[in-house]
Structure 1
Amino acid sequence: MDHQKNEEVAARFEELAALEQEFEDMEEEIIRQAEALQRPLYKKRADFVTKIPHFWSLVFEQAPPEIDNFIQPTDSKVFAECLDTFEVTRIELNDPNGSPRSFSLKFGFTDNEYFEDKVLEKNFWYRKTKDWQGLVSEPVKINWKKGKDLTGGLTDAAYKLGEMRKKLAIDTANGAARKEEAKTKEYKDLAKKVETATDASVSFFGLFSFVSGYRWVSAQESAQAAKEERERFEKIRRGEKVDDEDEAEDEEDPQDYQEIEVFPGGDEVATVIAEDMWPNAIKYYKGTFDEEEDDEELSDLDVMDASDDDDEDDDQEPVDIRALVGKGRKSEQEPPSKKQRKA
């Protein structure tokens, strides 16, 4: 009797999983429809903000903690001085084999002292395996100027490993192939650099090296996993028994993929940027005005107290809210002052 009850519970669980898939399909359709409705507004906003100096610099200045915690003072300086444009695009919106959850982050820069690139674009693809789903990406080459690499060589090492993987067509779905990859010089060099790096030293630009919160998953592996998943759920909906033998044969993978991940949590950071900061950019920009109002409401006593502490804070650059919103600036071409990161 207990065995029969367990089978019934398992069957109900499978039906719930199939229903969950229907919810996911609906969420993807909502993303498609929302993008179609919002695209003209994004175009209108892009045309408008070209008339506002340092718009995107100020948006990232007001980034939520999930993003701000990864922006080092030098990163903040780069954004302030030369971040010119920014755009999020749903790169697989109309691809029947892709996902509307996939997107790109495209940063446009003016000339700067750190890298040669005028555009840095990072693609994030929503992929699946038999037991995981999420965002994956390929390392992006940043052409750092001599002695100016803010990541200490991490982006270069990650890019070399990515290029080696593509050149040798390494099948990351194959356990034996992954073990061979781990023996390569490129893999070992990156693993060593990641091991010696500290959280405080990893630049925001390390995001351009992010690969996955799990491991690299190819489009082919993802498509096959999605196909098998749909076939499985179709059988469940028809009331047919599902064979779980293949899943039972899967062996636990002991390999630590995060030992070569330059930017752990990069998928979460990218998602916040794409799904919060991008659609709400005007709100974040207006936040600079809110800070100015708070600054102007300081009492004389507050100002006197602050003056008494000047000697202790000589090493820190104060927050210039007026400069952030463009008031008191000598020239519209001058970048906004940057806040100091808390220790």
Structure 2
Amino acid sequence: MAVTAEEVLATYDSLAEIEAEFDDVETEIIRHQYTLSKDLYVKRAQIVAKIEHFWPLVFEQAPMDIDEFIQPSDSQIILGALKSIDVKRFEIDTPVEGGDPRSVSIRFEFEENDHFENKVLEKKFWWRHGKDGFVGYVSEPVDIKWKAGKDLTNGLLSLAKAAWEEEKATPKKEGKEKKELTPKQKELKEKLEAEATGAESFFCFFGYIGERVSAEENIEALKKEAEDRKKRQAGEEVEDDDEEMKEDENEEDWEDEEDLDIFPQGDTVAMAIADDLWPNALKYFTQAQESDDLSDDEDDESEDDEEEEDGDKPNKKHKACAHGCKH
């Protein structure tokens, strides 16, 4: 017996509702896990503060989603000056309308170093829903007070911050009128195009913005999603609202905004830190210790071999790693 178009549509609506229910479960798990483990993370922080180079060693074993963006010049700061990392789910701690348990703030604390004045760098990522169907992290640039001649982002981060402030101060275009780039945005775009082949510093991460979704748009989108769910649950048809037309209208603006992001993978890195590196810090610290032990064993074996070949040859000096240990 052939399935009618109406039955197929009803099946798709049922799947959409199941997917929404899975998302509800996921967010509640995050909420409860965070609440239950919050005090444990405070205890962990008190203990690891007594362990020299704990967080630099954790970062040394960072997962690929983080490690692939760390350049050798970044490592000098991260391994030499990183004091601590802290992750908070700030929209659980301070609930707001439209808030989501997945929103995170990532706080880096640094020792005095040769590159920048900041002792603390904190970046927030809001989990938001857009009217065009977007769901994910959005953020705002956080500038760094670089010391003279030490800017690893080559001016990109400060320019991204200036362009963002200029964008916020510029009245938004209404309807289908295409947005024009501000002077700072044009300057940023030209600089990004000129440096397209250059290495990207991890510290450009603090310039990530993502899609432009305001708190107000997020609330509107969530209300619309809630209304659509009620209709599906009641067996009513949910209109598509000409989604393809919306995507076409926003496509050019989004491409321009994406071209202005100095670290497009910032949402991926934020998720890797919040969901992997931070909760699994002890695992990565242990791996770093084991890696150092293995390196020591290999050095010892190499020295033994050299001594057998030439008993008069002096012992090889141990190499100092970036965080001050020797192996």
- Same fold at TM > 0.5: yes
In structure 2, distance between residues paired with 1:30 and 1:292: 36
In structure 2, distance between residues paired with 1:305 and 1:90: 53
Letter in 1 for 2:166: M
1:306 positional shift: 9.3
Where in structure 1 are there 5+ consecutive unaligned residues? Answer: 308-316, 325-334
Q: Which residue of 2 aligns with 1:32?
A: 31
Q: Which residue of 2 aligns with 1:221?
A: 217
In structure 1, distance between residues paired with 2:101 and 2:56: 27
In structure 1, distance between residues paired with 2:18 and 2:215: 25
In structure 1, distance between residues paired with 2:11 and 2:36: 38
TM-score by length of 2: 0.87
Letter in 2 for 1:126: W
In structure 2, distance between residues paired with 1:102 and 1:63: 21
1:241 positional shift: 2.1
Q: Deviations over 1:192-211 (max 9, x none)?
A: 12212246521100000001
Q: Which residue of 2 aligns with 1:237?
A: 233
Q: Which residue of 1 aligns with 2:311?
A: none
- After superposition, the Cα gap between the structure-2 partners of 1:300 and 1:15, relative to the gap in structure 1 and judged at 3 Å, is same
In structure 2, distance between residues paired with 1:131 and 1:338: 52
Alignment of 1:52-131 (within 5 A): 52-93=51-92, 94-129=95-130, 130-131=132-133
Q: What is the SS of the residue equivalent to 2:4?
A: helix
Where in structure 2 are there 5+ consecutive unaligned residues? Answer: 308-316
Letter in 1 for 2:163: L
Q: Which residue of 2 aligns with 1:210?
A: 208
Q: What is the SS of the residue equivalent to 2:86?
A: strand
Q: Which residue of 1 aligns with 2:50?
A: 51
Query: Any runs of at least 4 consecutive aligned residues in structure 1 with deviations exceeding 6 A, and if so which?
Result: 304-307
Whether the 8 Å contact between 1:80 and 1:337 is mirrored in structure 2 is no
In structure 2, distance between residues paired with 1:300 and 1:206: 40
TM-score by length of 1: 0.83
Aligned-residue identity in percent: 41
Q: CA RMSD, aligned part only?
A: 2.7
Letter in 2 for 1:225: A
- After superposition, the Cα gap between the structure-2 partners of 1:265 and 1:306, relative to the gap in structure 1 and judged at 3 Å, is farther
Mean CA deviation greater in 280-289 or 249-258: 249-258
1:338 positional shift: 9.7
Q: Which residue of 2 aligns with 1:269?
A: 269
1:152 positional shift: 0.6
- After superposition, the Cα gap between the structure-2 partners of 1:300 and 1:167, relative to the gap in structure 1 and judged at 3 Å, is closer
Aligned length: 311
- After superposition, the Cα gap between the structure-2 partners of 1:174 and 1:56, relative to the gap in structure 1 and judged at 3 Å, is farther
Mean CA deviation greater in 245-254 or 154-163: 245-254
In structure 1, distance between residues paired with 2:168 and 2:219: 18
- After superposition, the Cα gap between the structure-2 partners of 1:300 and 1:150, relative to the gap in structure 1 and judged at 3 Å, is closer
In structure 2, distance between residues paired with 1:13 and 1:336: 58
Mean CA deviation greater in 4-13 or 97-106: 4-13
Letter in 2 for 1:268: T
1:145 positional shift: 1.3
1:84 positional shift: 1.1
Q: What is the SS of the residue equivalent to 1:179?
A: coil
